[in-house]
Amino acid sequence: MKHVIIGAGPAGVVAAETLRKLEPESDITLIGDEPEPPYSRMAIPYYLENKIDAAGTHLRKSADYFEQNNIEVLQSRIDAINTDKKILTPDTGEQINFDKLLIASGSSPVKPPIEGMDLPGVHNCWTLADANQIIDRAKPDAKVVLMGAGFIGCIILESLVSRGVKLTVAEMENRMVPRMMNEQSGTLLKQWCENKGVTVLTSARVSGIEKGSQHPLSVVMSVGGALPADLVICATGVRANIKLCEESDIETKQGILVNEFLQTTHPDIFAAGDVAQGRDFSTGQYSVQAIQPTAVEHARIAATNMTERREHLHRGSINMNVLDTLGLISSSFGDWEGLKGDDSCELGDNDRFRYLNLQFQDDILIGANTLGLTQHIGVLRGLIQSKTRLGKWKNKLANDPTLIMEAYLATVQGQA
Amino acid sequence: MQRSLQIDPGKCTGCLQCEMACSYENEGVFNPARSRIKVFTFHQEGRFVPYTCTQCDEAWCMQACPVDAIVLNAATGSKDILEDVCVGCKVCTIACPFGTVNYNSDTGKVIKCDLCGGDPKCAEACPTQAITYINADETGFDRMRAWAGKSDNQPRVQ
Ligand SMILES: Cc1cc2nc3c(=O)[nH]c(=O)nc-3n(C[C@H](O)[C@H](O)[C@H](O)COP(=O)(O)OP(=O)(O)OC[C@H]3O[C@@H](n4cnc5c(N)ncnc54)[C@H](O)[C@@H]3O)c2cc1C
Ligand code: SF4
């Protein structure tokens, strides 16, 4: 059996390892187009902070790891897939044929359609190459404008501040992390950042970037005025890398369409990670989540289903995130916005920047938002995923949402 | 034969010796807030429930870690954090559905039970044998873990 994987990010690497464990004899080829050894994008913020060197971002630490596991790693780009003949033509080297293919090509940042995004000094923060560009320009006291206070924007915010830059954040929506946190917690997060000396502009759209006079760049705001900048970082969203499927019979929408086996519309081709439009545990709908835990979950299931013996069902991944913004930790799980007409409870302490919101369907926890909480938060996933009936604990939680751990022990494990 | 922690909440009196021993062994201070084992109190029922990582087979934390900072200890079966590799991203703290991996803001890293390398101090300190360290197949952990199977998304290929 010959397995080929396109994309050497976390999804590709975990899939390769899973295949190796299940099929010691198969050929496994992992193809990635970036020059570095397989690395984790998630580690980039810590690289920017000088907490780790480039090797600290590598997904597997020993230099001969892939060789040891008999996984062939190729650096090249695949622009099209011949699904009839099951052949890939890399941009370098010879054609590669496959029995089973996994597409784990990830996602890429989108740039808003405004003038000036190609000027020198305007960067994404997506690859190690981007990170090196940012390190060059994000010197102490440099003026930096961060476009987008979404999930990725908020994660790199801290790294930029630690580099000593003068940071302004511009977010189109009315609060920070609008797709992860509700209005109350997103607003508290903004206040926290402002207290720490970061300028946060919300409901603020950048209408274009121009060459500046005193500083190389000038970021023009739609409400009027312009911000001088030495560096502009764009973190305004991501899009699945589906271009390589364009001329094939592999169907795509937001991402590559997959079924509950992570199989595409071609039976021998699977997709996993940021590129896959997989099942969401909460909604039952198929969507692109673009988060690390989902990438790894997809990869293991897809790889298992690529082998001859097994069929493993993907019941859906929980959309979840944890963020550390200048020391304030926030998290979101599942259906944090809740369902119309269903119950929720919340507890907030604005002065101490603490907030907790739980969403229920009947007496089952379906989603949560937290701010300033670091202990035992995983249990929120446990409660959501196990769909445990909370019974009388639902009322107890409504009175005091911090009792999540007690509720879990009492209901899931029957300990009280 | 690998051993694991067996917890019998019925025997726990809530004296917190386990938390003290754990924090002292691992953090060098007698401070229950720094303990990897936690005793939860159910006032109405008058019940105390010590709780920590079961070193589960799924190892959700280990799988989710983006930089390979959580490794299997082959001798004890525990999943250990490599402090010098951990970047403190906290993904493992939301990935663990048992809530037993926690962030320590003082170090910027995460902490979890590592069975003290095979000599768990909590079990040693417990005066009532509510916590014991015994052969893995005798423990009740299979029952504790069983619920995870209900929505288990993970093929077991370890
Ligand atoms: C700065 C930053 C911080 C993040 N923080 C978090 C976080 O805290 N929590 C979280 O859950 N997620 C986070 N993420 C998101 C997380 O990194 C991704 O969800 C994860 O990397 C997805 O893994 P993947 O393997 O699907 O894709 P990727 O990691 O994108 O890997 C895909 C690989 O395939 C390559 N490739 C693409 N097309 C081709 C082709 N045609 N031919 C060959 N190779 C190709 C790409 O270059 C890339 O190397 C963060 C991302 C960034 C950028
Ligand atoms: S916090 Fe550390 S151990 Fe946990 S996932 Fe992140 S890097 Fe890995």
**B12-45: per-residue pLDDT in tens?**
999 999 999 999 999 999 988 889 999 999 988 8
Domain count along chain B = 1
Choose the residue to mutate in A77, A274, A277 for probing ligand 1, maximizing ligand atoms within 8 Å of C-beta: A274
Which ligand has the minimum distance to the alpha carbon of residue B59? 2
- Same domain membership, residue A230 and residue A254: no
Q: Is residue B158 part of a domain?
A: no
Q: Do the chains contact at A61 and B68, CB–CB below 8 Å? A: yes
pLDDT given at position B156: 39
Choose the residue to mutate in A241, A258, A289, A325 for probing ligand 1, maximizing ligand atoms within 8 Å of C-beta: A241
Q: Which residue of B has its CA nearest to A411?
A: B147
- Same domain membership, residue A153 and residue A132: yes
Report the C-alpha gap between B100 and A405 in whole angstroms. 10
- Protein residue with its CA nearest to atom 7 in ligand 2: B86
Q: Is residue A316 part of a domain?
A: no
Closest among A248, A237, A244, A207 to A225, alpha carbons compared: A207
In chain A, which residues have their Cβ closer than 8 Å to the Cβ of B64?
292-293, 296
pLDDT given at position B137: 67
- Protein residue with its CA nearest to atom 4 in ligand 2: B92
Domain boundary (A234, A259, A284) is at A234
CB-CB: which of B103, B148, B155 is closest to A301? B155
Contact A265, A300 (CB under 8 A): no
pLDDT given at position B138: 61
Q: Is residue A84 part of a domain?
A: yes
Q: Do the chains contact at B154 and A297, CB–CB below 8 Å? A: yes
Q: Which residue of A has its CA nearest to B35?
A: A375
- Same domain membership, residue A93 and residue A130: no
Minimal C-alpha gap between A122 and chain B (Å): 26
Q: Do the chains contact at B157 and A304, CB–CB below 8 Å? A: yes
DSSP A80: E
pLDDT given at position B1: 67
Q: pLDDT band at B157, cuts 50/70/90?
A: very low
Q: Is residue A168 part of a domain?
A: yes
Q: Which residues of A379-404 are buried (b: 16+ CB within 10 A; e: fewer)?
A: bbbbbbbbebebeebbebbbeebebb
Domain containing residue A87: 2-107+238-306
Domain count along chain A = 3
- Same domain membership, residue A152 and residue A220: yes
- Same domain membership, residue A335 and residue A298: no
Is residue B74 over pLDDT 50?
yes
pLDDT in tens, B113-156: 999 999 999 999 999 999 999 987 665 555 555 444 343 444 43
Say yes or no: CB of residue A130 within 6 Å of ligand 1: no
- Whether B105 contacts chain A with CB within 8 A: yes
Using the atom order of ligand 1, give the atom closest to the CA of residue A275. Answer: 26
Domain containing residue B97: 3-150
- Same domain membership, residue A250 and residue A183: no
- Whether B46 contacts chain A with CB within 8 A: no
- Protein residue with its CA nearest to atom 21 in ligand 1: A41
Closest among B133, B32, B114, B16 to B70, alpha carbons compared: B114
pLDDT given at position B142: 54
Q: Which residue of A has its CA nearest to B37?
A: A376
CA torsion, points B50, B52, B57, B59, in degrees to nearest 10? 150
Find which of B153, B154, B156 to mutate to test the A interface (most A CBs within 10 Å of its CB).
B153
Q: Is residue A114 part of a domain?
A: no
Q: Is residue B156 part of a domain?
A: no
Classify B95 as helix, strand or coil.
helix
CATH number of the structural domain spanning residue A170: 3.50.50.60
- Same domain membership, residue A222 and residue A175: yes
Q: For the whole model, what pTM was predicted?
A: 0.94
In chain B, which residues have their Cβ closer than 8 Å to the Cβ of A405?
38, 40, 51, 99
- Same domain membership, residue A82 and residue A36: yes
DSSP A89: E
Only one residue has tokens 């190796």, namely: A20
> What is the DSSP track for A266-334?
STTEEE-GGGEEEEBTTT-SEE----HHHHHHHHHHHHHHHSSS-------BPPEEEEEETTEEEEEEE
pLDDT tens, residue order, chain A (416 aa)? 999 999 999 999 999 999 999 999 999 999 999 999 999 999 999 999 999 999 999 999 999 999 999 999 999 999 999 999 999 999 988 999 999 999 999 999 999 999 999 999 999 999 999 999 999 999 999 999 999 999 999 999 999 999 999 999 999 999 999 989 999 999 999 999 999 999 999 999 999 999 999 999 999 999 899 999 999 999 999 999 999 999 999 999 999 999 999 999 999 999 999 999 999 999 999 999 999 999 999 999 999 999 987 788 899 999 999 999 999 999 999 999 988 777 999 999 999 999 999 999 999 999 999 999 999 999 999 999 999 999 999 999 989 999 999 999 999 877 76
Q: Is residue A314 part of a domain?
A: no
DSSP A36: S
- Same domain membership, residue A51 and residue A149: no
Q: Is residue A64 part of a domain?
A: yes
CATH number of the structural domain spanning residue A344: 3.30.390.30
Q: Which residue of B has its CA nearest to A42?
A: B66
Q: Is residue B155 part of a domain?
A: no
Q: What is the arrangement of strands in the sheet containing A344-349, beginning at the earlier edge strand?
A: A320-325, A328-334, A364-371, A354-361, A344-349
CATH number of the structural domain spanning residue B65: 3.30.70.20
Say yes or no: CB of residue B90 within 6 Å of ligand 2: yes
Minimal C-alpha gap between B132 and chain A (Å): 17
Q: Which residues pair with A74 in a beta bridge?
A: A31
Using the atom order of ligand 2, give the atom closest to the CA of residue B110. Answer: 1
> What is the DSSP track for A104-129?
---EEE---S-BTTTSTTEEES-SHH
Domain boundary (A204, A234, A264) is at A234
- Same domain membership, residue A230 and residue A126: yes
Say yes or no: CB of residue B49 within 6 Å of ligand 2: no
What element of type H or E holds B4? strand B3-7
Q: Is residue A117 part of a domain?
A: no
In chain B, which residues have their Cβ closer than 8 Å to the Cβ of A43?
66-67, 87, 89
Report the C-alpha gap between A359 and A369 in whole angstroms. 9
Q: Which residue of A has its CA nearest to B45?
A: A416
